[in-house]
Structure 1
């Protein structure tokens, strides 16, 4: 998987190191060449000096073959412009942006671009957003039997009833994040583009549930 990161501050360098350590191809963009010093000495990915919403800079970073794009520079405007360019012009399927202004973040969530904030939490949240198949649990009950995990959501589930997905997965959804807000599912809940899905699982079924939610529905 090839992932392009715009911004090599504390978050960007942390995310780049985490992704590369998992075996992914990583490219990092920053307009300040000195920023790449934050990357580990053994970083073997691509570094491109330039503005993250410049088409040629993005192409140098491999945006045309990118599976994911993360905009984590220090500027809200730069992040959202580059995120929209990655998604709308280059068709990158998985895009996430760091936004400092919470009011603006809600607006961009409605555009279908997940947004996150704060350094350590941001780095881990971006990794989970870019690599949903490797997502860990977000909660576990005191008896260590039941947990809530963020599950990948295949595009073909969009527009279908959540109850159909629950039936296929053999478990219930704990909640759905939509437009930056958590909602409790009902029998009438229909999955929408940009939804983040959190499922109730046990250790025995966690992998199977993720496989179901991350795959296209099977025909009956």
Structure 2
């Protein structure tokens, strides 16, 4: 069992508290809003403390003296940063995680080196994912591995793609100089572990691993040129 303090009872803090409380953890949630804390405590088995998340007194009441982890996810970057600093310098909390939104803070990581172990930046995560999808039009998902040198890409197969209607083993004949691997296929909501004999069908969701330079070539094997669009609309 881990003793975890969650600072902030917004959407993120509430969701994390609900998930972690199911895993037999000792959870304490801190927030200024008493009614929100009361509602949460009535729904799940947690402790709550009303007050400012960065206050040494409030953190002490929340049990920071022997907490394993402090998760600072209030709606204020400044409060999250200060709360982690207090947790480090006064309570010596082993692990501190903070949500930081402002780019002006994120551009100076030296501010967090001593007091924050992990930074969560939802805006950066979303922006990076959008940029990857723009870079590879038609991709369903793009995930980085090995610091971005290798990527896992998901794409829906369409008629007209060179490999659609053919066995995966033919890929090495189409692209002899490309090193890639088809890792999984989803067909009509059913997962398929592919082999060389597996035939790619139109509408399959195909997930492949390739280097960044080879991704576009792989995508052309699964989609015709007409189905790849670079139009971008931001609403």
Q: What TM-score bracket applies, with the shorter chain setting the length?
A: 0.5 to 0.7
Gaps (5+ residues) in structure 2?
127-142, 146-151, 153-180, 185-235
Q: Secondary structure at the match of 2:183?
A: coil
State how many pairs are aligned: 129
Q: Is the 8 A contact 1:17 1:40 kept in 2?
A: no
Using the size of structure 1 for normalisation, the TM-score is 0.52
Q: Secondary structure at the match of 1:39?
A: helix
- Displacement of 1:109 in angstroms is 6.0
Determine the C-alpha separation between the residues in 2 that align with 1:115 and 1:12.
15
* Partner of residue 20, structure 1: 21
* Partner of residue 52, structure 2: 51
Using the size of structure 2 for normalisation, the TM-score is 0.49
* Partner of residue 122, structure 2: 118
Q: Check if 1:102 corresponds to 2:106.
A: no
Q: Is the 8 A contact 1:10 1:38 kept in 2?
A: no
Gaps (5+ residues) in structure 1?
123-136, 145-220
* Partner of residue 3, structure 1: 4
- Displacement of 1:87 in angstroms is 1.5
Q: Is the 8 A contact 1:52 1:58 kept in 2?
A: yes
Determine the C-alpha separation between the residues in 1 that align with 2:144 and 2:82.
30
**Higher Rg of the two aligned structures:** 2
CA RMSD after TM alignment: 2.6
1:24-70 per-residue CA deviation (whole Å, 9 max, x = no partner) reads 11000001112225637431111000001111211111111100001
Q: Is the 8 A contact 2:41 2:48 kept in 1?
A: no
* Partner of residue 142, structure 1: 182
* Partner of residue 87, structure 1: 88
